[in-house]
Amino acid sequence: MAKNDQSSAASVQEPAEIRKLRTQIKRNIVVSVIFHIITAGIIAGGVYGMTKAGFALLCVALFFAACTEVFAISLLRENKKVERRIELEKSRLASATVFADPLYKNKGYTYDMARELYCSHTGKKEKDLTKEDVSVIWQYSYDDFAYLLMWIIENNLYQPTKDFDEDEAREDKEYVSRIKRREKLPTDYLESYDGYFMEDSVKKKARAFVIGYFKDSYEDEVRKFAKENLNAELYGFPFRWEDYDAFKVHIDKAYAEYLENKK
């Protein structure tokens, strides 16, 4: 492909907003050139008219020439601002391309199942559920990830996602520290982040293990553990520390096997 063809392809691939801004720059340049030409014409006309009608006509011509010149210069200055907007837009688009992928994404998708199981266990009807009931149901709905999240946090494998700014990262670390001290639940974390947990929130040394384990055998192990130890179905039990402590040996074993296979 020739160089000109490459340039054309690049401009076509640019987002519509940036193409619109570039068009505005070109339009401003054309208008500015036209006004410079008009300015020159007015001055020339004023000089010629001065010989016919005197100095007053030249002054009027210079005044209008100055007005058109100011307008032309303002267009060029506007182009500088537009160019800065283009650079900001490019930066925004570039940063958008490095967002992390979610490892866990549950925006209430399992809530209805959890609610049905909760109502079945308690004998309550949906219309009679209190705020406390709803809070417990949300814990049920995160049964498929809560143990693994707590294991990540407890083993110092958690880090704030790169999607957070400095203030968000600091607040996130403080919140996770409270979970590690068992002052908060891992289900609280998931509820506060709308059921999202990002892949890059796991430190690099364990990220491949966590992703692979979660997508492979983790849910089946939780389901089996719940049936055999809690007499419950998946999405049918709340997060309890004693249950987590009993289950985490499964994750420890899987991680030890992963590390052994890496040698």
- Give yes or no: residues 91 and 112 share one domain: no
Tell me the CA distances in angstroms from 208 to 182, 226, 255, one per residue in order: 26, 26, 11
- Give me the pLDDT at residue 144, please: 97
- Give yes or no: residues 90 and 181 share one domain: no
- Give me the pLDDT at residue 67, please: 73
d(CA 35, CA 69): 7
Are the CB atoms for 138 and 191 separated by under 8 Å? yes
- Give yes or no: residues 114 and 133 share one domain: yes
Structural domains counted in the chain: 2
Residues 104, 108, 113, 117, CA torsion sign: positive
Among the three residues 54, 75, 96, which one is the final residue of a domain in this structure? 96
Q: Is the pLDDT of residue 54 over 80?
A: no
- Give yes or no: residues 90 and 132 share one domain: no
| Residue pointed to by tokens 């068009």 | 23
- Give me the pLDDT at residue 42, please: 66
Q: Long-range contacts made by residues 219-228, C-beta under 8 angstroms, separation at least 24?
A: 219/144, 221/247, 221/250, 222/143, 222/144, 222/147, 222/247, 225/250, 226/143
φ, ψ of residue 181 in degrees (nearest 5): -80, 0
- Give yes or no: residues 126 and 144 share one domain: yes
pLDDT tens per residue, range 121-158:
999 999 999 999 999 999 999 999 999 999 999 999 99
Rg of the chain, C-alpha, whole Å: 33
Nearest Cα neighbor of 254 from 216, 200, 204, 205 is 216
Among the three residues 96, 116, 138, which one is the final residue of a domain in this structure? 96
d(CA 74, CA 21): 17
- Give yes or no: residues 149 and 189 share one domain: yes
pTM: 0.63
pLDDT band at 7; cut points 50, 70, 90: very low
- Give me the pLDDT at residue 130, please: 95
- Give yes or no: residues 63 and 164 share one domain: no
Structure letter (DSSP) for residue 221:
H
Average pLDDT for 57-64: 63
Nearest Cα neighbor of 219 from 251, 193, 246, 242 is 251
Are the CB atoms for 58 and 47 separated by under 8 Å? yes
Residue 141 domain boundaries? 102-262
Q: Long-range contacts made by residues 21-27, C-beta under 8 angstroms, separation at least 24?
A: 21/82, 21/85, 21/86, 21/89, 22/86, 24/82, 25/79, 25/82, 25/83
pLDDT tens per residue, range 170-199:
999 999 999 999 999 999 999 999 999 999
Return the H-helix or E-strand segment holding 103: strand 102-105
- Give me the pLDDT at residue 5, please: 38
- Give yes or no: residues 258 and 135 share one domain: yes
141-150, 160-169, 218-227, 231-240: segment of lowest average pLDDT? 160-169
- Give yes or no: residues 80 and 146 share one domain: no
Among the three residues 96, 114, 139, which one is the final residue of a domain in this structure? 96
Q: Is the pLDDT of residue 221 over 80?
A: yes
